[in-house]
Structure formats: C-alpha cells, structure tokens
Amino acid sequence: MATLAGAQEAPASVVVTREPLVANTSPRAQAPAALRGDRPWSVRMVETVMTRHPIVHEKWDYTAGLVLTGVERLGDRTRDARYRKYVQDNMARLVQPDGSITSYRADEFNLDQINQGRLLFPLSARTGDARYEKAIERLRDQLRHQPRTSEGGFWHKQIYPQQMWLDGLYMAEPFYAQYAAVAHDTAAFSDVARQFLLAVRHTRDAKTGLLYHAWDESRSQSWADSLTGLSKNFWGRADGWYAMALVDVLDYLPVSHPDRAALVKTLGDLADAVAKVQDPVTGLWWQVLDQGGKKGNYLESSASSMFVYALAKGARKGYIAPRFAAVARRGFDGIIANLVTVDSAGLVSLHNVCQVAGLGGAQNRSGTYDYYISEPVVADDYKGVGAFILASLELGR
C-alpha cells in the first residue's frame, strides 16, 4: 500500500484494503486549497468528503450522521460557514416542513435511525426552523416506545428481539442525553445511564475487561452462548461505538447524577482494557481486539479512530487518567503512517475499514472469529472517515 511522503513503510501486519478506493467524481482542478498538506487532517478529510460527495447520503443513515457530526464540529471550531452549510443542505433535503424524515420509519424501532438526529439540535438552534424541532420529537417518541429487555435495555432493532448490541449505545444515547439536557428531563438521564450500565453488566469480560459485541437475553440466537447469551468475540468497532458514546454522553449528564461515577469508572475500565490490546508495533487496534497477529486478523481503521477519539477526549475532560492521551496520540500516528494515503490532488483516503459486521439476521451472521475477518474491507467508508475526523479534531492534529 502506498504511504504518505515521509511516512514509514507499513508493517507487514497491516493488511492492504481489499476493495478499490471510492472514486473521486469531481475534477481535480476543483480540489480546494484546504487540502494542502499543511492543513489539519480534520480539514483535509472534511474537504475530501465535500469534494467527493456533495450529497453525503441519499437516505437518513447513521453513517451519514457520524460524518456530518464531524463536519458540524469542524464548523464550530473554524467558524467556516461552508461546513455548516454542508450540514444544513444535507439535512434539509431529508427533513420535511412537517418534521417527517425521508426514509425513516418509526415502526422499525431501529436504533441506527436515531444517530443522525444529533444534527437536528444545532440546526434548530441556528435556524429557528420548526421542522427540526418536530423531527427531534419524532425520534424521541420512538425511544418512548422502543422494545426493551426485561431490565429495560433497548432492543437494537425490532427485528432483533431481546438483543442489546454495543453499536446501539452510540446510535441512540448521545441523542437521548442531549434531548434530556434540552428538555431538563431527569428521568431520561437515568434511562440513558441505565442503557450503558446494563450493556456493560452483560457484555464485559472479567478477564480482559473488553466488551463482547452483543447479548441476547433469550439465549435463543445461534450466535449466543446458551448460558450467558453473549456473542463470541470482541469486535473492535463495537467497543469503539460504546467508548465514543460514553464520552459524548458525559458531556450532558449532570455532575450530580447518581450514576455518573459508575459511568466514569466504566469508561476508565474500558480505557485500560483497550490500551492493553493496542498493537505495540503500529499503535493501531485489531479487527478482533484480543487476537492480534492471528491469521486473517488485520489492523482496522474505524475502531482505531474511535479509540483515539474516546481516549483523547476522555483524558482531556478528566474522565480518565491523563496517560491515555499518549495512547491516543500513538494511535493517531499509527493511522497516519499506515492507513492514510493522499492522491496527487490532495484528496485523502482512509484504508482498512471493515465495511459492516453484525449478528444473526437474514444473513445468518455467526459472530465467530472467521466471520469477523471475512466481511469486506474497504477504503473511505463513512464509519471510518467520520471517526477519523472526530479523532483529528480532538487531538488538534
């Protein structure tokens, strides 16, 4: 794989992306000056996204929400109106005047559909357009009726009964916590905290401190252990989703909330576990976290970016020990040295993103080690790109 000028050659353990890069559909002459090599990586990646994708996604989607969250935060940081306009243009085309959302269906009870709603809050505040507040209420109403486990944990989707997935914590809880803050809803804050504490109670491995991808209360799924209900492996991005969700939710949860200390401890415990499985050669994290170097495993960029973001932000905010900032910096250096390339027009590509991974469903996804390493590995998938933007912003790189 090509590396940036001046970067070290990628170690043999770093797997080359198995799919081609996303094509650049814009003329190279139109690449903005912000793509210069002396600009921050957050700027260069956002400018790349905007150049390649004037429309970030055709439908309401959690991956678009992740990227647009990065663009929104870059707009806050730089006060560049183009970034906020990009967010607003992409959101306004999906949110109708009555607050309905194109391609969104509440009756699917799909937590993935909540994540993009985070962008509705700044848009409502900035524009005063009632459509955004109405859309916020639609999403909040889904959570009021979301199916739950016997202890009150959200099902990941209607089609995944009795199952809590780590992914779902990022999909729903930052939106839910921000709603609670705006609405001064104490009960909602407690519900948010409950979701994190239930998930970690059921998925944390006592030996490693890592979190299994999912838990099935019914123990009926083919991927679930018949005694514990747990899935079989520590998927990197699943733990990354949980870590990012927790550092973002702590921004909103009142300091006086009775569960705050438990959530801060949970973050610290997970930070310890994640730091222990950081690859000592590259500073990156593996697709299957505790199986570094095993045949077929690879150093994965979305999980690595998520851990960099969560550890850097957690250390900066004082949620976890300052030493984790160095772990985050080393991880980011590893991403740049091994998983980022830049073309002759200055457009940035992020490699080694697991395209998708899940459990069960129509695809009969088994949750085995062989399953996680068999899913397509691509470049420039939004799940990696969005987390990379956030990580770069958090480190000020």
204 contacts: CB under 8 Å, gap ≥ 6: 210, 211, 212, 269
Question: Per 3-state DSSP, what percentage of the chain is helix, strand, and coil (rounded to 5)?
Answer: 50, 5, 40
Given phi > 0 = left and psi -120 to 50 = alpha, else beta, which region is 364? Answer: left
Is 107 considered catalytic here? no
| 8 A C-beta contact, residue 383 and residue 353 | yes
Q: Per-residue b/e over 167-199, b at no fewer than 16 CB within 10 Å?
A: bbbbbbbbbbbbbbbeeebeebbebbbbbbbbb
- Cα 167 from chain centroid? 8
The helix-helix angle for 81-92 and 41-52 (nearest 10°) equals 40
Nearest to 367 by CA among 157, 172, 215: 215
Q: Which two tokens stand for residue 28?
A: 């190279």
**Is residue 274 within a helix (H) or strand (E), and if so which, with residue range?**
helix 260-276
Identify residue 137 by its one-letter amino acid code: E
| Active-site annotation holder among 61, 112, 167, 191 | 167
391 contacts: CB under 8 Å, gap ≥ 6: 305, 306, 308, 309, 312, 328, 332, 335
Which amino acids are annotated catalytic?
167
